[in-house]
Amino acid sequence: MTTDINLSINTLQKAYASGETSPEQLIKSLLVEAKSLTAVWIHLLTETEIAPYLANLKNMSPETHPLYGVPFAIKDNIDLAGIPTTAACAEFAYTPEKSAFVVEELIAAGAIPLGKTNLDQFATGLVGTRSPYGATPNSFNPKYISGGSSSGSAVATAKGIVSFALGTDTAGSGRVPACFNNLVGLKPSKGLLSTSGVVPACRSLDCVSIFALTADDANTVFQVAAKYDEDDRYARKNIAENIKPVVLNNKFTFAIPKAEQLAFFGCDSYERAFIQAVTALEKLGGTKVELDFTPLLDAAKLLYEGPWVAERYIATQDILEEQPEVMMDVTRTIISQGDKHSAVDTFYALYRLQSLKKLADKLIGQVDVLVTPTAGRHFTLDEIAQEPMLYNSQLGYYTNFMNLLDYTAIAVPTKFTSKGLPFGVTLFSDAFTDQKLLTYAKRIQDDAQLSLGATGWTLPKTTLSTESDAFIDVVVCG
Amino acid sequence: MTTDINLSINTLQKAYASGETSPEQLIKSLLVEAKSLTAVWIHLLTETEIAPYLANLKNMSPETHPLYGVPFAIKDNIDLAGIPTTAACAEFAYTPEKSAFVVEELIAAGAIPLGKTNLDQFATGLVGTRSPYGATPNSFNPKYISGGSSSGSAVATAKGIVSFALGTDTAGSGRVPACFNNLVGLKPSKGLLSTSGVVPACRSLDCVSIFALTADDANTVFQVAAKYDEDDRYARKNIAENIKPVVLNNKFTFAIPKAEQLAFFGCDSYERAFIQAVTALEKLGGTKVELDFTPLLDAAKLLYEGPWVAERYIATQDILEEQPEVMMDVTRTIISQGDKHSAVDTFYALYRLQSLKKLADKLIGQVDVLVTPTAGRHFTLDEIAQEPMLYNSQLGYYTNFMNLLDYTAIAVPTKFTSKGLPFGVTLFSDAFTDQKLLTYAKRIQDDAQLSLGATGWTLPKTTLSTESDAFIDVVVCG
């Protein structure tokens, strides 16, 4: 905890309204705290660099600008005007004149950027250790990994330096670090958050993701950020029922994988935590169904073994072909495989994916929401150093299939293990179900009453929750 | 003209109802006529082979079976149970136990298969000359090409041997032969007609197409054939407003390419015919807009130059790798390029396509319907023999982009040239606008009052047309 002020958005706005603090005061103290973090920032903004954003608040009001004075962090593969974008590769860096589309939307709503955060180089990894700017330690226990690739964004949020942060999530990079740092991690429907001004990993799969302390905060940020971008070739228009929070029936059905498809890679505490999360969901009104997740797990494998690595190759082609030595060994080893596949391989993989999607959609259609552990095991930095490839791939077991199959997902904390490390589940469903998933995530969070991130702050009560409780037996949606 | 009975579906049903003919009588005489055609059939069914289908009619009635006793032909890359499927390559042939999903639907509605028709080998070509079973002559003038690849299906329909025929259309194979034989050619929205039991050309792009004498007939067949197939990985569910005929406003807007983007490859008669077709559309209530078709034309080029030929390679891989000599030279030359592209090329092409789609969708959104010539020029068999590649690619100028961009299209005849050869336009719009396009096609056909195919039969008046005329100023849709 870095300040007495709970940075969850509603609470922070009350603190501004009451005069308890001001954006200027708050940001100043946050910057001081920010400097104490290890390997979180690639570029922490100076007071001078932040000044224009604070000055802009004079033309805004908290009533009309939902993110008025709200500090946030930006993964360093997303552009902030005037600050280098490195993607964790100094030799790749460029300084954009314009911020990424989503960053512009957030700033226009009053949000204040604090810095650009560390990541697994070129967003290739789920560990948070593959960066020349250092391995990012976990916010609860520095012997453990933060998870990646959006490592710095997750830890900055968990440590209470920002109210929320932007990550990217191609294969799990927004969910795994949310799990390991006790955060909500929204991997929105593909195409709802613009990727203009984002360094691609796999351009056809990339999503900008949101780390937040609460599901309500994730929703507030989502509503600001999810604007249609004419210039993003992969942008999709949102559907009416997915724009504002939805009210759902108290009773719902959820699917988990068959017992033999649950993998914890030897981690008993995560296994117990998942069983408890399932019990908690049942107490919340959920009816559990065990389904055969084979099509999802097969799609996950397809991402690792298939031709999509060619997209990473395309994204880094200049560096790879001209100065491969500047790339981290592990990153180069992975990405340089990208020119080994043929068009024939690619179409075979696309056909296979289409078949799996057909089967997976049948699962999705059977229940209101699907639930898995977000990760099967939490690793230490030492473990990852010893087995950098195998353990990384284990971290993607529940996450890799999501964008390939065009699903929406949210990671939500449910429990601390006996070692005091966080565990959480991922809820997922079809594209354009962001609001439905945010509602379920909110219920889980309201029920679990865990403190926020690694801050010790308590979960604020929100009006929204009280209001919707009155409705949920009446209005059925989704 | 092969019989006194106009085979357009409504007329034929009246002939059955009045006792003027019976399915048995009619089929028998059609089979005799069918034998006189040159290079149309790869397998014409015997009376014995047809007998079971006729026998099944005893359990059906014209009231409940919309295709009761309606004769149809099947392109020989689509399975008919018990009859070899060759794709115009004898060495590739196999005899399926089960008919293709769409064929089953048609037969279940009372349709009677007459035979399997000739095609450009492996559906690779737009000419109708690339077949070891012979070049299919045009139904109006045997010196001219029939167009392809669905050459036999088009000519069988135009010659009045069948009421309708199935083709396939990956890059124009259902539209170009419709144009050259004075037929309606519907290239439905991707995924509405199952491709189960169809030899793939480009699996991710293939459509089963419909050749018919009238837009009403195309609609009747479409409604029977467009059933969702659980087992087709590329199947999509139709939307409610695209299932039954729609009523449209009398006034509409249509887009044609800018003058400099219209290509007739030296064919003045087609150029004049297109100008007349545009004038006719304006008289029908259409407001013309000239738009920049660059994104569409660029997408068309992408199909020819891009990695999608790898899909044709996959479809014929066993033959290509084990006995390449059995393939026609021209086909082998094209398809063997399919293993030259890389995964990197493929993703670059997919990104480019996504950008073009974004631009093209803006054009589509500006008007009710887009209109081009179906083909820019009609070639003789001799001309194609001299320039088999260049002229084939010219035939795809207005057709190649359609499936890549996920659009729906219908070719409709508008005019005969001074040489007595048919010309027609293609109407196209977004996916799931089949009914809208069928309605416009019907209006054009009602207005043009051309005889049907090469039969000399007149266009029947349909109740539907009269009914909807009463509505069109009132109900606005689409």
* Chain A residue closest in CA terms to B349: A343
* Chain A residue closest in CA terms to B350: A204
| Interface test with chain B among A194, A231, A233, A308, by most B beta carbons within 10 Å | A233
pLDDT, position A463: 52
Find the CB nearest A314 among B340, B344, B358. B344
In the numeric block, which tokens belong to residue B354?
Answer: 């996504």
Catalytic residue, chosen from B173, B189, B194, B429, is B173
Q: CB of A301 within 8 Å of any CB in chain B?
A: no
* Complex ipTM: 0.94
- A373 neighbors A396 (Cβ within 8 angstroms): no
Task: Tell me which residue of B23, B473, B453, B470 sits closest to B217, measured CA to CA.
Answer: B453
C-alpha dist (Å) from residue A273 to A175, A293, A418: 17, 20, 10
pLDDT, position A477: 39
Q: What's the CA gap between B203 and B190, in Å, rounded?
A: 11
Q: CB of A310 within 8 Å of any CB in chain B?
A: yes
Question: CA B311: distance to chain centroid?
Answer: 21
Three-state DSSP at B303 gives: helix
The tens place of each residue's pLDDT in chain A, 478 residues long, gives: 445 899 999 999 999 999 999 999 999 999 999 999 999 999 999 999 999 999 999 999 999 999 999 999 999 999 999 999 999 999 999 999 999 999 999 999 999 999 999 999 999 999 999 999 999 999 999 999 999 999 999 999 999 999 999 999 999 999 999 999 999 999 999 999 999 999 999 999 999 999 999 999 999 999 999 999 999 999 999 999 999 999 999 999 999 999 999 999 999 999 999 999 999 999 999 999 999 999 999 999 999 889 999 999 999 999 999 999 999 999 999 999 999 999 999 999 999 999 999 999 999 999 999 999 999 999 999 999 999 999 999 999 999 999 999 999 999 999 999 999 999 999 999 999 999 999 999 999 999 999 999 999 999 987 554 344 434 433 333 3
Contact criterion met (CB < 8 Å) for B354 and A233: yes
Task: Tell me which residue of A308, A343, A310 sits closest to B310, measured CA to CA.
Answer: A343
Q: Checking DSSP bridges between strand B184-187 and strand B407-416, what pairing results, if any?
A: antiparallel
DSSP A181: T
Q: What is the mean pLDDT of each run of 10 residues along chain B (478 residues)?
A: 80 96 97 97 98 97 97 98 98 98 98 98 98 98 98 98 98 98 98 98 98 98 98 96 92 98 97 98 98 97 92 96 96 95 97 97 96 98 97 97 98 96 98 98 97 96 50 37
- B190 neighbors B461 (Cβ within 8 angstroms): no
Record the pTM. Answer: 0.94
Within 13 Å, how many C-alpha atoms sit on residue B52's CB side? 6
Active site residue A146: no
* Residues paired with A85 in a beta bridge: A94
- B165 neighbors B460 (Cβ within 8 angstroms): no
* Chain A residue closest in CA terms to B237: A358
Sheet with A208-212, edge to edge strand ranges: A41-44, A112-117, A71-75, A164-168, A208-212, A184-187, A407-416, A422-430, A369-373, A252-257, A286-291
Q: Checking DSSP bridges between strand A252-257 and strand A286-291, what pairing results, if any?
A: parallel
Three-state DSSP at A328 gives: coil
* Residues paired with B164 in a beta bridge: B72, B212
Give the helix/strand (H/E) hosting B322: helix B317-322
Three-state DSSP at B301 gives: helix
pLDDT, position B463: 52
Q: What's the CA gap between B57 and B327, in Å, rounded?
A: 40
Contact criterion met (CB < 8 Å) for A233 and B313: no
pLDDT, position B477: 39
- A34 neighbors A115 (Cβ within 8 angstroms): yes
To the nearest whole angstrom, how far is the Cα of A166 from the nearest Cα of chain B? Answer: 24
DSSP A114: E
Q: Amino acid letter at A6?
A: N
C-alpha dist (Å) from residue B461 to A203, B10, B165, B449: 53, 9, 22, 10
Find the CB nearest B310 among A203, A311, A344. A344
- A226 neighbors A193 (Cβ within 8 angstroms): yes
Contacts of B247 by beta carbon, 8 Å cutoff, 6+ apart: B439, B468, B471, B472, B475, B477
In the numeric block, which tokens belong to residue B4?
Answer: 């006194």
Q: Checking DSSP bridges between strand A71-75 and strand A112-117, what pairing results, if any?
A: parallel
Q: B449: buried, middle or exposed (CB in 10 Å: 19+, 13-18, 0-12)?
A: exposed
- A44 neighbors A33 (Cβ within 8 angstroms): no
pLDDT, position B3: 55
pLDDT, position A304: 80
Q: What's the CA gap between B334 and B317, in Å, rounded?
A: 13
Contact criterion met (CB < 8 Å) for A344 and B348: no
Peptide bond just before A149 cis, omega within 30 deg: yes
Q: What residues 313-352 of chain A have any CB closer than 8 A to a CB of chain B?
A: 313-314, 317, 338-348, 350-351
Contact criterion met (CB < 8 Å) for A343 and B346: yes
Contact criterion met (CB < 8 Å) for A358 and B204: no
Question: CA A205: distance to chain centroid?
Answer: 14
Contact criterion met (CB < 8 Å) for B343 and A345: yes
Contact criterion met (CB < 8 Å) for B342 and A347: no
In the numeric block, which tokens belong to residue B268?
Answer: 């003045």
Q: Which residue has the tokens 């570029």?
A: A43
Residue A245, phi-psi category: left (phi > 0), alpha (psi -120 to 50), beta (remainder): beta
